[in-house]
Amino acid sequence: MSFDVAEQLALHGGPKAKRTPFPKGKRHGELEKTYLNEVIDSDTLFFYMGTKVRALEKRFAEMCGMKHCIACSSGTAAVHMAVAALELPVGREVITSAITDMGSLTGVLYQGLVPVFADVDPDTLNMTPEAVRQKITPKTGAIMVVHHAGLAADMDGFLALGRETGLPIIEDCAQAYRCLYRGRLAGTMGAINAFSLNHFKHITCGSGGMILTNDDKLRYHSSIFLDKCYQRDEGIRDPFFLAPNYQMTELQGAVALAQLEKVEQIVAARNRLGTRLDALLATIPGIAPQKTPEGCRHGYFLFLFRLDLDRLRCTSREFSEALAAEGVPNRARLITGGMPVYLYRIFQHRSAFPGSEFPLEGRRYGKGDCPVAEDAFERWITMNIYEHYTDTDIQEMAHGIAKVARHFSRAPSTTQA
């Protein structure tokens, strides 16, 4: 299909590129209702006495070929459990990506550990093993890999670095259900790996999280960490470390269990649509979709593309506004709200805890720490692709991008996408 990229911008009164409305998807249905009814009929919402949270853990572990899954109340909780399970001494450093959600960092800080940020690859926006290597010091305790936007990071590189240094790898897979890295699922390669079930994720139970591990000791620690360090299985209530209550309720478990049955289909549909949009954008001068490395299956939690500002005369914000006017929702801020996470006030002011700079005493986070990540906010546009979108939606989204790119082009273009 071809379209007229020479049309006037919708921003200037021309017709919108997105001519048909996006279809409405439905995320929850009969299976969720059935499982929820079963929970209500069982008369307990408490995971330890119910069956749904346990069934969720069993099913997710099986689906991923892992020994243990432990469910909890959020992705933030899951990352916290993963970090805590490593039992790193206070003050040790955890190296992670400059572009991630605060949920990757909350547990690090609560454990008295120090986040250290490593730069990202300019084509994928995933943290690179080379950048991490530069940040390793005698204080480093772990490496937390974030599979940003649903694209697996360079796990061979990270696993090799882990073997070489003895540092454990945590995978933050909040955005990366069923994403493949050279035949292996994201979340099955690190020592202990976290997922989120929040509203925005591929699958959701409103709020929830899960971790995966093959290690019995890490499983044990996580399972009591989410429960105030009560050792229910042993019938012991004698906490020996500080631990929150991160329990998942049976209601969340019921919905999450039903959602699991759809996750492969959701990711496959997004992958098909995203791959199609990638191909269309590859023909548009000035536009470069996020690069999917050989052997990876992208889950398109987000669809990202980069503006070539040598070829386009605009800022990412101007591009974003013109594209939104075409009827194509998008953001020019990436997932962090417009800055690498280390520029958040909590790091700038070392204000994790009131009246104290703990655990960031003497730390300086500032502009220039991760130049590629900082530059990304000037050039990248983020969109969502949902599994219920049609090929027409994808065509029209590409049309909008092509139109806006042509408008801002420094050179006259004849491209038809």
Residues in the site for ligand PLP, rule: CB under 6 A?
Answer: 74-76, 79, 100-101, 103-104, 146, 172, 174-175, 196, 198, 207, 209
Choose between 61 and 186: whose C-beta lies nearer to ligand PLP. 186
Q: What is the 3-state secondary structure (H, E, C) of the chain?
A: CCCCCCCCCHHHCCCCCCCCCCCCCCCCCHHHHHHHHHHHHHCCCCCCCCCHHHHHHHHHHHHHCCCEEEEECCHHHHHHHHHHHCCCCCCCEEEEECCCCCHHHHHHHHCCCEEEEECECCCCCCECHHHHHHHCCCCEEEEEEECHHHCCCCHHHHHHHHHHHCCCEEEECCCCCCCEECCEECCCCCCEEEEECCCCCCCCCCCCEEEEECCHHHHHHHHHHCECCCEHHHCECCCCCCCCECCCCHHHHHHHHHHHHHHHHHHHHHHHHHHHHHHHHCCCCCEEECCCCCCEECCCCCEEEEECCCCECCCHHHHHHHHHHCCCCCECCCCCCCCCHHHCHHHHCCCCECCECCCCCCCCCCCCCCHHHHHHHHHEEEECCCCCCCHHHHHHHHHHHHHHHHHHECCCCCCCC
Least distance CB 93 / ligand PLP (angstroms): 18
C-beta separation of 175 from 267 below 8 A: no
Torsion of Cα atoms, 68 then 74 then 78 then 84, to 10°: -130
Choose between 69 and 280: whose C-beta lies nearer to ligand PLP. 69
Choose between 119 and 172: whose C-beta lies nearer to ligand PLP. 172
Say which of 18, 52, 135, 201 is annotated catalytic: 201
Least distance CB 213 / ligand PLP (angstroms): 17
Choose between 104 and 409: whose C-beta lies nearer to ligand PLP. 104
Residue (of 147, 250, 246, 254) closest to 201 by Cα position: 147
Choose between 196 and 290: whose C-beta lies nearer to ligand PLP. 196
Least distance CB 147 / ligand PLP (angstroms): 8
- Rounded Cα distance between 292 and 304, Å, is 11
Least distance CB 149 / ligand PLP (angstroms): 9
Least distance CB 79 / ligand PLP (angstroms): 6
Choose between 35 and 177: whose C-beta lies nearer to ligand PLP. 177
Least distance CB 73 / ligand PLP (angstroms): 8
201 has catalytic annotation: yes
- Rounded Cα distance between 193 and 176, Å, is 11
φ, ψ at 254 (rounded to 5°): -65, -45
Choose between 16 and 333: whose C-beta lies nearer to ligand PLP. 333
Looking at residue 383, its amino acid is M
- Rounded Cα distance between 260 and 203, Å, is 7
Choose between 252 and 409: whose C-beta lies nearer to ligand PLP. 252
Residues with a catalytic annotation lie at 201
